[in-house]
Structure 1
């Protein structure tokens, strides 16, 4: 018996975030060891992190994240959980609608409202305790 599948909105894997204590060693592994190019480097003073995006092919990236202060959220995460995968990022068309739907369905969000990056991108995170242990970043790029 065939079951009709409901058409879902298109969702794209944008990037995978990895927390590291030593961003230069992490960059050397991805760039030099695996010969993957660096797409962008930035310092986010608001979040107190250095970020390097590694080209993973197409529009996909690997985001390397290192704390710049010992009391930042990422530093606390690193001290508690150690280095490794931090989040999976999914690009969405309407972040507020997705956040409302997830909340209505009982999924916990870390952010009550989307945050805005310097380039206008909106982002928010799900809490891993309600999503099977995986933190998911919702990402809405500016039009």
Structure 2
């Protein structure tokens, strides 16, 4: 069962400049940063609020590190802006299979590692009214009880 908006992914050309905009304009602070080599992005997660299911809602700012990454190709075609919406779930495996059973294309056969060691998959935008949709199960060690709201960490994923 989908429980919250986990994050909204925003593609940008310059991560540092975009982080500063959200900090200066709205007061949002960086909760987490990482480089995900598999997806070809540098990212920053800006925490917006805690949620009733123990998770949180974020803005995810994404800067491609390769032109051939999905975000790099998307930026070349569309420019900066909202790239995807992600819904939180306690069980991405079960929910993605249930959604697949309704005829929606799930882009990964098995969920993959995402930001902050979460498990993720995506739904095809053509089956979701033009919206690239991500399903996310947060890692237990990144819940609000296990992570301070002001720590950023840089980690390379492969």
Determine whether 1:86 maps to 2:90. no
Cα deviations across residues 45-64 of structure 1 (Å, max 9, x unaligned)? 12111001112122211000
Computing the radius of gyration from Cα coordinates, the structure with the larger value is: 1
Quick one: higher RCO (CA 8 Å, sep 6+), 1 or 2?
2
Q: CA 1:20–1:118 in structure 2 vs 1: closer, same or farther (change >3 Å)?
A: closer
1:27 to 8, 15, 19: 19
State the shift of 1:118 in Å. 7.4
Unaligned runs of 5+ in 1: 1-8
Gaps of 5+ in 2: 51-55, 141-158
Q: CA offset at residue 117 of structure 1?
A: 3.6
The RMSD of aligned alpha carbons is: 1.6
Report the equivalent of 2:61. Answer: 64
Q: What residue in structure 2 maps to residue 76 of structure 1?
A: 73
- Which runs of 4 or more aligned residues in structure 1 lie more than 2 Å from their structure 2 counterparts after TM superposition? 117-120
Structure 1 distance, partners of 2:45, 2:117, is: 17
Distance 1:128 1:118, change over 3 A: closer
Superposition deviation, residue 81 in structure 1: 2.2
TM-score by length of 2: 0.79
Q: How does 1:108-119 map to 2 (within 5 A)?
A: 108-117=105-114, 119=116
Q: Residue 34 of structure 2 contacts residue 115 of structure 2 at CA under 8 Å; is this kept in 1?
A: no
Aligned residues: 135
Q: Deviations over 1:87-118 (max 9, x none)?
A: 11111122111111111111112212100247
| Shift, 1:130, TM fit | 0.3
Does 2:48 match 1:51?
no
* Correspondence for 1:101: 98
